[in-house]
Structure 1
Amino acid sequence: MATGAPLFAGDSEIDTIFKIFQKLGTPTEVMWPGVSELPDYKATFPRWPTRGWAQIRNTAAQVGQDGIELLEKLICYDPKSRITARRSLQHPYFRDVDKTSIDA
């Protein structure tokens, strides 16, 4: 939303997943333990390296360092390492948001 366009605009499931891989890097066992055991994982997926946010559109300029840090925590491949919605609300990126109306 911050950049005005989807980060992963694919025209099919496989195109979308490849767009994610192209931006975040193709997931490995180091990034996501157990990924190779997932039912739809293919060892033949193309291998793209991780790209920094500075190379992904103008995201850094739009959301700043706090926003980049939050994005990285929100879209972490490994669900066990991903930040929860509740914890994300406590992130410094939202420090100026009035949270009094948010259900705790």
Structure 2
Amino acid sequence: GLPPPMVKNFMRQIFAGVGFCHTYRVLHRDLKPHNLLISANGTQLKLADFGLARLSALPNGPYTHEVVTLWYRAPELLLGANRYSASVDVWSTGCIFAEMATGYPLFPGRTDIDQLFKIFQRRGTPNNTIWPGVGRLPHFNGEFPKWPEHPITRFVSPEALGSTTASELLESILRYDPERRVACRQALNHPYFYDQ
């Protein structure tokens, strides 16, 4: 993975850029490492490829869930939600965060169901207690295997992230319930960005 100070610098810029988009109600919907441009000196990061972006305020019916490259796709999209929010981009940033820190994708699924199960195996199988309404999503199945929840530090070490506050931030980014997932502006105010 990248050195923790570099990860922190890039994550600050990602949250600032994605947060700017969200301020203007633009959902990027395809955040992944391939769509991040790094300056020649390795200090500046820019968001790229807005080909799947959309204004979240448009009243033209349900959104498609066929967005976001599989490994970075939020669970609500994988479960068929056709109404979703800026939190789909936040989930993607969490996957990027972990990958920058470790050098490996966090949830490298091969198919939609494999992707879901990779998430469930690490984050636990969601239920209506931890994610109200998950049982009503079109592709949710009460017969899914029931995996227990594990702390994020089991898969992304605090050493790779550089601090326990980084682990806490990643945990808040990768929450199942989109309503409880941290927003970009909140993330930028997290103690992680003020640690030395």
Instruction: Report the residue type matching 2:151 in the other structure.
Output: G
Structure 2: gaps spanning 5 or more residues: 1-99
Q: Once the two structures are aligned, what percentage of the paired residues are identical?
A: 45
Looking at secondary structure, tell me which structure has more strand per residue.
2
Instruction: Report the residue type matching 1:44 in the other structure.
Output: E
Taking structure 1 as reference, are residues 96 and 53 closer, same or farther at Cα in structure 2, changes over 3 Å only?
Answer: closer
Match of 1:17 in 2: 116
Matches within 5 A, 1:35-54: 35-54=134-153
1:60 equivalent to 2:158? Answer: yes
Asked if structure 2 preserves the Cα contact closer than 8 Å seen for 1:25 and 1:47, the reply is yes
More displaced, 86-95 or 58-67? 58-67
Normalising by structure 2, we get a TM-score of: 0.46
Cα distance in 2, alignment partners of residues 96 and 71 from structure 1 = 15
Deviation at 1:96, TM superposition (A): 5.7
Q: Give the length in aligned residue pairs.
A: 96
Asked if structure 2 preserves the Cα contact closer than 8 Å seen for 1:26 and 1:46, the reply is yes
Asked if structure 2 preserves the Cα contact closer than 8 Å seen for 1:70 and 1:91, the reply is yes
Match of 2:191 in 1: 92
Cα distance in 1, alignment partners of residues 185 and 154 from structure 2 = 29
Structure 1: gaps spanning 5 or more residues: 98-104
Taking structure 1 as reference, are residues 23 and 71 closer, same or farther at Cα in structure 2, changes over 3 Å only?
Answer: same
**Aligned-pair Cα RMSD in Å:** 1.6
Normalising by structure 1, we get a TM-score of: 0.85
Asked if structure 1 preserves the Cα contact closer than 8 Å seen for 2:107 and 2:115, the reply is yes
Cα distance in 2, alignment partners of residues 59 and 38 from structure 1 = 32
Cα distance in 1, alignment partners of residues 158 and 114 from structure 2 = 24
Looking at secondary structure, tell me which structure has more helix per residue.
2
Asked if structure 2 preserves the Cα contact closer than 8 Å seen for 1:53 and 1:60, the reply is no
